Structure 1
Amino acid sequence: MNLDKNTDTVANEADAALQSTFAGLGSWQRLAVVAAIIIGIFIILQIINRFINRQLNSNKIKGKGSYNRIVTVTKLFERIIKIVLTFIGVTIIMSVFGISIAPILATLGVFSLAIGVGAQNLVKDVINGFFIIFEDQYSVGDLVEIEGIEGIVEDVGLRVTKVRDFGKILHIIPNSNISIVSNKERANVRTKIDFYVDNSCDPSFVSEKIKGTIERYKDDARIVMGPNLWGVTENAKDSYKMTLVYYTKQGEQYELEYAIRAEILKTMQRENIKMPIVRNKLIQKEDSDALL
């Protein structure tokens, strides 16, 4: 109760001070003040926006490894500044026209109490959002999996995270619901390629030829580690399986896989390395009739 009284007192005093400031103005003067406030806020926002965009587009900032995180945090603070300036402008304009802002200020004064009673989820969203941003768990542009949803992060806010999946569907996830995040952008991806060879072929000969083929990919800038040929990894009645593995950054593994598979096939054709023959078992008509 004392908190409510103190808040009301401060709000009334602030309202009275603003009302007295504009009390002696005429109608045209009030309109001029309102126009000046709107133009001033618009100019300030434009200056802030241009300054931020200029900094984010500079080569110095783009060259930083934490560029996505810088973009995320900067856009967040830009949004907060816009909200604060807009609120200040609206309250001043209300005072110019003689509208009391005491109820608004009083409401803000007890906002923490209202949050504690009726907006606990909002508090959880905001707190978790701060940890997500400042711990750099993920940033705009990262490929992530959150609560079973896999896609690209389009926006990270204090309350929600927006992820667009590969079906182009935008998922809006409250930050308080995020408990486990798999950031696939910041881990090397392992690609395993299996291929089958006929049992009549010497495994040592096949390994030598395949290793010679993939040797040039060791200097490929897209590859972090490998490719390495493991050798024979499975035996069957008519064939055996060989496996090679390499590591890349997320998103760069697919074109390499297609290229390496093609090179393996070309090498097998050039060196007369036989692939296993797929044999289909034919069922005679008499047998098929007996099965019916």
Structure 2
Amino acid sequence: MDYIADKLKKEFFDEDLWVDLSVGILKLFVIFFLSRLVIRLSKAVISKFFLVRSKSPIRVSERREATLLKLIQNVITYIVNFIALIMALEVCGLDIKGLLAGAGIVGLAIGFGAQSLVKDIITGFFIILEDQFSVGDHIKVKDFEGEVLEIGLRTTKIKNVTGQLHVIPNGSILEVTNYSMLNSVAVVDVTLPYDGNVKSAEAAIAAMLDTLPHKYNELVKAPEILGIETLSPTEIVLRITAETLPNKGSSISRVLRKEVKDCLDQHEWNPGN
């Protein structure tokens, strides 16, 4: 018992032990400090680069630039943290080569057993990189349509109009219809009696349509009457189109039907007029 106590006491007061321990702690502190510094400087440089690009006449969309900025910053953070972790383990005296070899074998086994997971992650990466859609967009994937709530590297979450949440693996997203990228077109058909005064109705409706952009900000320009779409023995169908902001076609279609109805009522239009 005294022998063990003397040995522990000798090791505790061993000068070389405390020197090595102090040097190791100092190295860990330096590794941590430098890794934080490199990450912060890298993010600042990348942000400055994208800021300069934003003032260039040749540039991509703001949404894509924001996505790329965040993605590159995250990749740099992961890489720097991984290198710092390896250096810290080496300072602690662990066999890095053996550890990396073991990690490679485990990673290979996981890769064979989780091919669908790898496919989801790769597809999610390209969805973000190519800016196929972003959070808040209205999209359709297969039979699922709704607003994008979240985009991850593995899954995408879509909320439909009835409040249901669809979680879709990114690997199964082969085709996407994005209703929020470009302007929409509202199409409204107005049915009139065959024996009515179509010219008078067109004039009244056209005058009303010219006033709508001042009332509804969703309209890009004044709606247009394309003319007679169909004829039948009992009725005439006039077609009206309106260019709207992205994903506003349905709401403007309902507005147009109401405005046309009010216009015809106001002019007391009937087949005899």
Q: 2:115 aligns with which of 117, 120, 123?
A: 120
Q: Secondary structure at the residue paired with 1:231?
A: strand
Q: Distance in 2 between matches of 1:225 and 1:209?
A: 14
Task: Give 1:105 shift.
Answer: 0.8
Tell me what 1:264 maps to.
260
CA distances 1:79-99 after superposition (whole Å, capped 9, x unpaired) = 222222222222222222223
CA distances 1:62-109 after superposition (whole Å, capped 9, x unpaired) = 994422222223322222222222222222222222233344311344
Q: More displaced, 73-82 or 250-259?
A: 250-259
Letter in 2 for 1:175: N
Tell me what 1:189 maps to.
184
Q: Cα RMSD (Å) of the superposition? A: 4.0
Q: Secondary structure at the residue paired with 1:193?
A: strand
Task: Give 1:229 shift.
Answer: 4.0
Q: Secondary structure at the residue paired with 1:29?
A: helix
Q: Secondary structure at the residue paired with 1:186?
A: coil
How does the TM-score come out when normalised to structure 1? 0.66
Letter in 1 for 2:146: G
Alignment of 1:40 onto 2:37: no
Alignment of 1:246 onto 2:242: yes
Distance 1:274 1:267, change over 3 A: same
Structure 1 unaligned blocks of 5 or more: 1-22, 276-292
Q: Secondary structure at the residue paired with 1:26?
A: helix
Tell me what 2:5 maps to.
none
CA distances 1:212-236 after superposition (whole Å, capped 9, x unpaired) = 3224558989437952243364658
Tell me what 2:175 maps to.
180
Tell me what 1:227 maps to.
224
Aligned residue pairs: how many? 252
Q: Secondary structure at the residue paired with 1:105?
A: helix
How does the TM-score come out when normalised to structure 2? 0.70
Task: Give 1:202 shift.
Answer: 1.8
Q: Distance in 2 between matches of 1:62 and 1:146?
A: 34
Tell me what 2:198 maps to.
203
Q: Distance in 2 between matches of 1:83 and 1:63?
A: 30
Q: Distance in 2 between matches of 1:38 and 1:169?
A: 45
Q: Distance in 2 between matches of 1:119 and 1:232?
A: 55
Letter in 1 for 2:37: I
Query: Identity of paired residues, percent?
Result: 26
